[in-house]
Amino acid sequence: MGRKPRNTATMKQVAERAGVSQATVSLVLNNVGGSRVNEATRQRVMDTVEELGYRTNAFAKSLRSGESGMIGFISDEVASSPFAGELLKGAQQLAWETGNVILSVDTFNEPDLEAAAIDMMLSYRVKGVVYASMYHRVLDLPAGLEAVPTVVVNAQERSRRVASVFPDEEAGGYAATRQLIEAGHTRIAMINIQPEDSDLPAGIGRLAGYRRALSEAGIVDHPELVRYGGGVVEDGLALTLDLFDLDEPPTAIFCGNDRTAWGAYRALESRGLRVPEDCSIVGFDNHAMLAPILDPGLSTIELPYEQMARAGIELLLSGSAQEPTSNPIECVPILRGSVADAKVHA
């Protein structure tokens, strides 16, 4: 036999058991400031609420107040992706800390599903919406979100109507290259994660950071040391082999993501070479299922998923989401064992 559902207590039952009016119960549960409910009565009501298992009707409360205590989280594939799941985690944690909950929907880039998700968010009277992307790109805000405070996370909103929170790609590329420069390397290659003519911010920013670090250090930016891949292991392998066919191979490689770095490891191994003794490697992403597991562990730059989501929620709750601000978030270096001093290569 199935479990018999528990009866739901009503406010009237709480009032009768506590010996007070329903108005008094409402004042206590809604923590109305300035009410004349003394501490003993307030405690008696709360004890009765606990005894009867009373739960407030959140939907009815939202109709009265115009707020549901919910924050919408609409994404393409974030919630279903272990790689970017930290975005949703960060949003959930800060929402909970501030007395809110997250209402999350993955749309899988389907316009009809996205439109339905927006309608649902509006019907629930969410305080605002986090519109999140699986990868850093420039996007157009969908119709319907102009009716509710919205912040774009892990992307940049093209028309600059709302606030955008995204990784500081250039600073991350700079930090990655500085790791290699500070280890004494001067012949530093980069394998990017997108074609040379791509307009995606990630590859553009990381390459700009690489070039800025070289320039500040007085190191010549040799065009033959820059390669353009697609961010996959196979490209990292092929392009590293290509670099090591040069008359003067690099002593260090900045790989535009961790999958590319894995390919670089495999390429060096196929030539009988070792990381970092024969070539130092730095990646980008801090992919939890890859970077710490490579041997040696991969020094990399961490994408700030959780921090971006928290920043987005803070903008919503502070009322600043509708200000068209750009909010780059620092990408922090994670140091492991894939970088050695350049003198090892001498």
Number of H helices and E strands in the chain, helices first, is: 11, 14
What residues does CATH 3.40.50.2300 cover in the chain? 67-167+305-330, 169-303+334-345
Average pLDDT over residues 186-211: 97
CA 104 to chain centre: 14
Q: Omega into 276 within 30° of 0, i.e. cis?
A: yes
> Confidence class of residue 67 from pLDDT cuts 50, 70 and 90?
low
pLDDT of 127 strictly over 50: yes
Domain 67-167+305-330, CATH? 3.40.50.2300
For the stretch 219-253, pLDDT in tens is 999 999 999 999 999 999 999 999 999 999 999 99
Give the model's pLDDT for residue 55.
66
> Confidence class of residue 193 from pLDDT cuts 50, 70 and 90?
very high
For the stretch 69-88, pLDDT in tens is 889 999 887 655 556 678 88
pLDDT of 3 strictly over 60: no
Lowest mean pLDDT among 177-186, 272-281, 321-330: 321-330
CA-CA distance, 253 to 191, in Å (whole number)? Answer: 7
The whole-model pTM stands at 0.80
Give the model's pLDDT for residue 206.
98
For the stretch 248-301, pLDDT in tens is 999 999 999 999 999 999 999 999 999 999 999 999 999 988 999 999 999 999
Domain range 11-56, CATH architecture: Orthogonal Bundle (1.10)
> Residue length, the chain?
346
Domain range 169-303+334-345, CATH architecture: 3-Layer(aba) Sandwich (3.40)
Give the model's pLDDT for residue 139.
93
Q: Average model confidence (pLDDT) for the chain?
A: 88
What residues does CATH 1.10.260.40 cover in the chain? 11-56
The CA distances from residue 262 to 178, 306, 309, 325, 333, in Å, are: 20, 24, 28, 36, 18
